[in-house]
């Protein structure tokens, strides 16, 4: 790979951003003009326009009322404060059960998702020979005789988001319909956040996923995983920027120690189980430019991923929406963006034909989407109940369980350095929990 090719990722990123901008720029211009009253009232008062720009507070007959929406949010804040006081006294056990549920749900769903993701990206699938001649012209595929390796990660993101959106929409509609009226007999109101605000976290989520795949062109997989150990400090820094959130000193120490423990664990495992891989990789990674590009892409991943969870948390606190509503809105935005980009780049139809040409590939994509959808629900549920930092800690720990699963499946050994890293991580988390409990008691 020459120095010129090292910067192909940047060109591809610009093309992706161009595709996204064809959706985001018109929406941004519309939001600006409506808010600054530069549009005719007929257009500004359209229901769809007001939902995109302002959101709305609706009852069963869909009446829009900004003042009642503000009052409702204030009432909800007061109710939430009372609820928090009761929870602090009576619901510690419930919070523990919720935390364990989120912990297990995130780990199980994303471990399964990772297995199918790796399988789809590395397995050679048999395809219908009458479609091969059309497919081999596409850059997103590597063709070997009548077998292909599917490389279009953006298409996988698209089908995952479509599946997740449909499930979230159905469940949200059912749960909303089952809500009982208020004591006064009037229907319960539904607060809908301004739709354009979901595009921020949707875009950052798409870009973070893209960066994970793109980084593997410049650095090996263990290096990519090591970079994720820095996620917790980056989430805390992003929280300061997005919502000016304050943390205790021990929380900063905990985040650093967890990341340090993850680095010890993964680095020890990498040295122990990937010596041959490292030797081969080092022979092809002597270029300083290549490593520099890899570090930039990984840094972009951390920035985008940290922004995503913090922006979602800020929407939860601001509008008090449900996890299903958040999941449906974010995934709808992601579908719009990825569908537009794939169509403009000419990769949508070829990828669709490829997936439908192999029953095995299609089935794997379905299982990938199911596990991704379950995982997304636990992501939004965890962030809404415990915040972005706890979510980052759980997802960081997932890296350890992913390595342990790999050791169990492929009989890898574990080094003393990795054992030390595991001890540092779990000791840091336990210490952090004890300090938080003591702080509440005081």
Model confidence over 277-295: pLDDT tens digits? 444 444 444 456 777 788 7
Q: What is the DSSP string of 107-159?
A: HHHHHHHHHHHHHHHHPPEE--HHHHHHHTT-TTEEEETTEEEE--HHHHHHH
Q: Cα angle vertex 379, ends 323, 116, to 5°?
A: 125
Residue 69 CA, chain-centre distance (Å), reads: 29
DSSP H helices, 219-322, are 221-228, 231-243, 249-273, 275-283, 288-319
Residue 216 CA, chain-centre distance (Å), reads: 19
Q: What is the pLDDT of residue 22?
A: 94
**Most confident segment among 118-122, 139-143, 206-210:** 206-210
**Could you tell me if 259 and 233 are in contact, meaning their C-beta atoms sit under 8 angstroms apart?**
yes
Q: What is the pLDDT of residue 272?
A: 60
**Most confident segment among 300-309, 388-397, 431-440:** 300-309
36 C-beta neighbours (distance < 10 Å), count? 8
For residue 21, pLDDT beyond 90: yes
Interatomic CA distance for residues 425 and 257, integer angstroms:
7
- Percent pLDDT > 70 in the chain is 69
- pTM for the full model? 0.71
Q: What is the pLDDT of residue 392?
A: 74
For residue 211, pLDDT beyond 60: yes
Interatomic CA distance for residues 290 and 287, integer angstroms:
5
For residue 199, pLDDT beyond 70: yes
H/E element holding 374?
helix 359-410
Mean pLDDT confidence for 200-215? 86
> Between the CA of residue 246 and those of 25, 187, 318, 392, what are the distances in Å?
33, 38, 17, 16
Interatomic CA distance for residues 138 and 148, integer angstroms:
11
For residue 13, pLDDT beyond 50: yes
145 C-beta neighbours (distance < 10 Å), count? 9
Q: What is the pLDDT of residue 407?
A: 66
Mean pLDDT confidence for 374-390? 83
Interatomic CA distance for residues 250 and 94, integer angstroms:
25
Q: What is the pLDDT of residue 220?
A: 63
**Most confident segment among 141-145, 163-167, 315-319, 434-438:** 163-167
Q: What is the pLDDT of residue 426?
A: 73
Closest to 327 measured CA to CA, from 382, 290, 367, 250: 382
Average pLDDT, the chain: 75
For residue 126, pLDDT beyond 60: yes
Structure confidence at residue 308 as a pLDDT band (50, 70, 90)? confident
For residue 94, pLDDT beyond 70: yes
Please tell me what DSSP assigns to residue 57. Answer: E
Place of tokens 């350095």: 417
**Could you tell me if 161 and 338 are in contact, meaning their C-beta atoms sit under 8 angstroms apart?**
yes
As a whole number of Å, the end-to-end CA separation of the chain is 60
3-12, 75-84, 209-218, 300-309 — which is least confidently predicted?
A: 75-84
Structure confidence at residue 276 as a pLDDT band (50, 70, 90)? very low
- If one compares 57 and 308, the residue with the highest pLDDT of the two is 308
Radius of gyration of the chain (CA): 24
Mean pLDDT confidence for 249-265? 80
State the virtual CA torsion across 107, 113, 115, 120 in degrees, nearest 10: -170
> Between the CA of residue 393 and those of 6, 39, 277, 401, what are the distances in Å?
33, 46, 29, 13
| Three-class secondary structure of residue 40 per DSSP | coil
Interatomic CA distance for residues 122 and 335, integer angstroms:
25
Structure confidence at residue 337 as a pLDDT band (50, 70, 90)? very high
- If one compares 136 and 94, the residue with the highest pLDDT of the two is 94
Structure confidence at residue 382 as a pLDDT band (50, 70, 90)? confident
H/E element holding 217?
none
99 C-beta neighbours (distance < 10 Å), count? 16
398 C-beta neighbours (distance < 10 Å), count? 17
Q: What is the pLDDT of residue 212?
A: 78
Model confidence over 48-88: pLDDT tens digits? 888 899 887 544 344 334 444 454 445 445 445 555 555 55
- Contacts by residues 431-434 (CB-CB < 8 Å, ≥ 24 positions apart): 431/250, 431/254, 432/250, 432/251, 432/254
What are the backbone dihedrals phi and psi of residue 201, each rounded to the nearest 5 degrees, phi first? -75, -25
Query: How many H-runs (helices) and E-runs (strands) does the chain carry?
Result: 18, 5
């Amino acid at each position: 790979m020459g120095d010129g090719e090292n910067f192909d990722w940047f060109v591809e990123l610009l093309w992706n951003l161009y595709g996204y901008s064809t959706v985001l720029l018109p929406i941004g211009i519309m939001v600006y003009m409506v808010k600054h009253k530069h549009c005719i009232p007929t257009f500004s008062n359209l229901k769809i326009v007001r939902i995109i720009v302002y959101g709305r507070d609706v009852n069963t007959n869909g009446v829009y009322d900004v003042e009642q929406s503000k009052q409702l949010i204030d009432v909800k804040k007061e109710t939430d404060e009372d609820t928090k006081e009761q929870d602090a006294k009576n619901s510690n056990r419930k919070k523990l059960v919720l935390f364990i549920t989120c912990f297990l749900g995130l780990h199980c769903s994303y471990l399964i998702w990772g297995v199918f993701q790796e399988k789809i990206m590395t397995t050679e699938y048999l395809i219908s020979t009458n479609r091969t001649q059309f497919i081999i012209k596409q850059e997103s595929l590597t063709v070997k005789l009548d077998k292909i390796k599917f490389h279009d990660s953006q298409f996988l993101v698209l089908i995952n988001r479509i599946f997740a959106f449909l499930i979230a929409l159905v469940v949200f509609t059912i749960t909303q319909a089952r809500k009982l009226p208020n004591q006064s007999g009037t229907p319960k109101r539904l607060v809908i956040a301004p739709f354009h605000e979901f595009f921020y976290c949707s875009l950052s989520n798409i870009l973070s996923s893209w960066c994970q795949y793109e980084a593997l062109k410049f650095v090996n997989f263990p290096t990519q995983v090591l970079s994720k150990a820095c996620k917790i400090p980056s989430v805390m820094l992003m929280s300061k920027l997005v919502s000016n959130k304050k943390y205790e000193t021990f929380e900063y120490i905990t985040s650093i120690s967890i990341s340090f423990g993850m680095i010890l664990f993964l680095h020890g495992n990498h040295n122990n189980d990937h010596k041959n891989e490292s030797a081969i990789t080092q022979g092809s990674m002597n270029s300083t430019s290549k490593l520099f590009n890899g570090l930039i892409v990984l840094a972009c991943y951390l920035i985008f991923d940290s922004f995503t969870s913090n922006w979602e948390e800020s929407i939860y606190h601001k509008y008090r929406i449900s996890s299903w509503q958040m999941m449906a809105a974010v995934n709808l935005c992601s579908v719009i963006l990825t569908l537009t980009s794939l169509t403009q780049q000419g990769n949508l139809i070829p990828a669709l034909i490829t997936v439908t040409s192999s029953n095995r590939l299609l089935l794997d994509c379905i299982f990938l989407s199911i596990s991704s959808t379950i995982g997304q629900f636990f992501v939004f549920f965890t962030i809404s109940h415990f915040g972005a930092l706890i979510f980052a800690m759980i997802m960081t720990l997932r890296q350890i369980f992913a390595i342990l699963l790999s050791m169990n499946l492929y009989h890898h050994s574990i080094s003393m350095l990795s054992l030390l890293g595991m001890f540092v991580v779990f000791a840091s988390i336990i210490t952090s929990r004890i300090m938080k409990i003591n702080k509440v008691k005081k």
